[in-house]
Amino acid sequence: MITSHLPILQVVVPLMAAPLMVVLRSGAAAWTLAVAASWTALAIAAGLFLEVAGGNVVSYWIGSWPPPWGIEYRIDIVNAFLALLVSFIAAVVIVYCRESVRAEVPRERHYLFYAMYALCLSGLLGIAVTGDAFNLFVFLEISSLSSYVLIALGRDRRALMAAYQYLILGTIGATFYVIGVGLLYLLTGTLNLADMAARLPAVSDHRSVLAALAFITVGISLKLALFPLHLWLPNAYAYAPSAVTAFLAATATKVSVYVLLRFYFTVFSGSGIFDDRPLAPIWITLSLAAMFIASAIAIFQNNVKRLFAYSSVAQIGYITLGVSFGSVYGLTAGIVHLFNHAVTKGALFMLLGGIALRLGTVRFDAIGGIGRAMPFTSFGIVLAGLSLIGVPATVGFVSKWYLVLAALERGDAWLAFAVVGSSLLAVVYVWRFVEVAYFREPTTEVARLREAPLSMLVPAWLMVLACFYFGLDTGVTLGGAGAAAESLLRGPR
C-alpha cells in the first residue's frame, strides 16, 4: 500500500524532517534525522527508479484531485534518474557533513544548518518529481532560499556578499520563470506540464508562446549558470561551507538542467516553435563559450575552490552542448555528463573540504606540498581531476566520448575537436594542483597537518571510486541516460 505513495513521500520525508529539527533544537539529533531522511529519500528514489525503468509512468494525484485540476506528480525515467542522482549525492554528503560542519559552522546553528539542508533536498527532489509548472516554481524557490542561507553560513565574510548576489540573480531567474509560466497559463489555461504540452500546438501561432519560451529559457539559464549568466556561481561555491559546496555543485545546477530539458522536450516540442528558429546555434555558441572561457579563467585562479567553481561553469557547457544537438546521442551525452559531473565535482569539493578543515584555506600559495601531508586527500583530488579531464576508464571519458560521437553524427568534426581542445584546458588547471601539491616543498605549517578524518575521507573516496566504477561499468548510467534521452525525444506522452 505504501509503495503507491512513493512519489509524495520522496518530497515529504525530508520536508517533515526539517521542521522536526527546528522543534528539537539539537545539533546531534538534527544530524541523525538528516541522515535518516536522506537515506530514506535515497531508498524511495531507488524504488521509483526500478518502478519506471521498464518505461512505466507513475502518476500521483495530490489530494486525490485528478489532473489537470489538481497537482499531479508524474514520474518517468527522466525524473526518476534525476531524483536518484540528487538523493544519492545528498545521502553521501550528509555523512560527510558531521565533521565538516562541526568545524565550519557555529555550534548553536547546527540544527538550523541541517534543517536548511533537508529543506534544500526536499526542494530539489520536489522539482524532480512534480508535473505541475507552478508547483515546480515553489520547489525551485524552496531549494534556492535554503541554499542562499547555506551559502551565507560560510566562515568568510565574502560568503555573505556571494549569498546576496546569488539571491538577487536567483530571484530574478525564478521570477522570469514565473512570467513564462504565467504567459503559458494565460494561453492554455493549465499548469499541468503534460496537459500544457497537449494544448500548446493549438495556440502555437501566438507570439506569446515565443515570449514564454524566452522568459523560461533565460530564467532557468540563470539558475543553471549558463555561461554569460554564471556570475553568481564562482563566489557562491568558493565561500560556502565545504559540505554545502559539494552538495550544491553536484545537484542544484543539474536540477535546473532537468527543468530546461522538461520544458524544451516535453512542453514546447509539440508546438513547432523550434522549427525555423536558430536556437541550436545559439545554444552551441554559448556552450562553447562556457567550455573555453570559463576553463581559461579557471586556470588563473588562486583559490582552488574558485578554480573548480569556474570549471563547473565549463562543465555545464558540455551538458548544454550535448542537449543542444537534440539527437539521441547528444542528449545521452548531456544526461550522462550531468551524472558524471555531479559525482566528480562532489568528490572534488568534498576532498577540498578536508584540506579546508585541516589548513583553514585552499589557496594555492598556502597548500604547497600538501601531497605529502595529506596523501589520501591529494591523491583523491588528482584522480577526480583525471575524471574531470576525461581520461579513459573514468566517467568523464564516457560522457565526452558520447559528446564527440554526437558531434560526428551531425557531421561537425570541428565541434568534436572543440570538446577535445577544451579538455586540454582542464589538463592545465588540474596540473596546477598536481604541481603545487607534489612538487613544492611543504611549508612547516603544511608539513605538520594530519590526514582528514575518516568520516570525511570515506564518503569522498566513495565518490572518487564511483568516478571509476561508472567509468568502467557504464550499464546503469548509459542505460538510464539513453532511456531518458529517448523518452524525452519521444515528446509528450
Partner 1 sequence: MTLANHYSYWVIIFLAIAGLYIVIARGNLVKKLVGLSIFQTSVYLLYVAPGKLIGGTAPIVSPQFQVYSNPLPHVLILTAIVVGVATLALGLALVVRLEEAYGSIEEDEILPQDRDA
Partner 2 sequence: MREYLVLRVIAKMMIAFMLLFALYVQFHGDFGPGGGFQAGVISAAAIIFYAVIYGLPAARRVVPEWLVETMVGAGVLLYATVGLAGIVLGGNYLDYFVLDSNPVHGQVRGIFWVEAGVFITVSGVMLKIFYLFAGRRRNEGPET
Task: Select 185 or 468, whichever has its Cβ closest to partner 1.
Answer: 185
- Rounded CA separation 274/251 (Å): 28
Query: DSSP 3-state assignment of 334?
Result: helix
Supply the minimum distance, in Å, between the C-beta of residue 65 and partner 2: 9
Peptide bond into 234 cis (omega under 30): no
| DSSP run (H or E) holding 72 | strand 72-75
Residues 167-196 contacting partner 1, CB under 8 A: 167-168, 171-172, 175, 178-179, 182, 185-186, 191
Part in contact with partner 2 (CB under 8 A); list of ranges 10-18, 37-45, 188-196, 294-302: 10-18
Please list, in sequence order, all residues whose beta carbon lies within 8 angstroms of the beta carbon of residue 327, skipping any fewer than 6 positions away: 406, 409, 410
Amino acid at 443: T
Task: Tell me if residue 454 falls in helix, strand or coil.
Answer: helix
Our CB check for partner 2 shows the closer of 85 and 116 to be 116
Q: Which does 410 bind (CB under 5 to 8 A by kind): partner 2, partner 1, none?
A: none
Does 207 bind partner 1 (CB under 8 A)? Our answer is no
SS3 53: coil
Q: Which stretch binds partner 2 (CB under 8 A): 9-17, 127-135, 278-286, 447-455?
A: 9-17
User: CB–CB of 277/176 below 8 Å?
Assistant: no
Q: Is the bond leading into 68 cis (omega within 30 degrees of zero)? A: yes
Minimal distance in Å, beta carbon 183 to partner 1? 8
CB 458 within 8 A of CB 99: no
Candidate residues 20, 58, 62, 161; the one interacting with partner 1 per rule CB under 8 A: 161
Separation of alpha carbons 29 and 390, rounded Å = 41
Nearer to partner 2, 129 or 485 (CB): 129
Instruction: Identify residues 71-110 at the interface with partner 2 (CB under 8 A).
Output: 106
Q: Provide, rounded to whole angstroms, the least separation between the CB of residue 314 and partner 1.
A: 24
Three-state SS at 192: strand
Window contacting partner 2 (CB under 8 A); options: 14-22, 217-225, 252-260, 279-287:
14-22
3 binds partner 2 (CB under 8 A): no
The minimum distance between CB 48 and partner 1, in angstroms, equals 26
Q: Choose among partner 2, partner 1, none what residue 172 binds, the Cβ cut-off being 5 to 8 Å by kind.
A: partner 1
CB of residue 320 to partner 2, shortest distance in Å: 35
Q: How far apart are CA 119 and CA 14, in angstroms?
A: 7
- CA gyration radius, the chain: 21
End-to-end CA distance of the chain: 26
Q: Say if CB 31 and CB 110 are below 8 A apart.
A: yes
Please name the helix (run of DSSP H) or strand (run of DSSP E) that holds residue 344, with its range, or none: helix 328-359
Near partner 1 in 131-160, by CB under 8 A = 134, 137-138, 141, 145, 148-149, 152, 157-158, 160
The entry of partner 1, partner 2, none that residue 220 binds, CB within 5 to 8 Å by partner kind? none
Q: Which stretch binds partner 2 (CB under 8 A): 2-10, 380-388, 425-433, 483-491?
A: 2-10
* Contact by Cβ (8 Å): 295, 314: yes
User: Packing angle between helix 304-325 and helix 328-359, nearest 10 degrees?
Assistant: 170
Q: Examine residue 16 and tell whether it contacts partner 2 (CB under 8 A).
A: yes
- Give the footprint of partner 2 on residues 53-72 (CB under 8 A): 60-64
**Sites of contact with partner 2 (CB under 8 A):** 2, 5, 8, 12, 15-16, 18-23, 25, 60-64, 106, 155, 157
**Sites of contact with partner 1 (CB under 8 A):** 134, 137-138, 141, 145, 148-149, 152, 157-158, 160-161, 163-164, 167-168, 171-172, 175, 178-179, 182, 185-186, 191
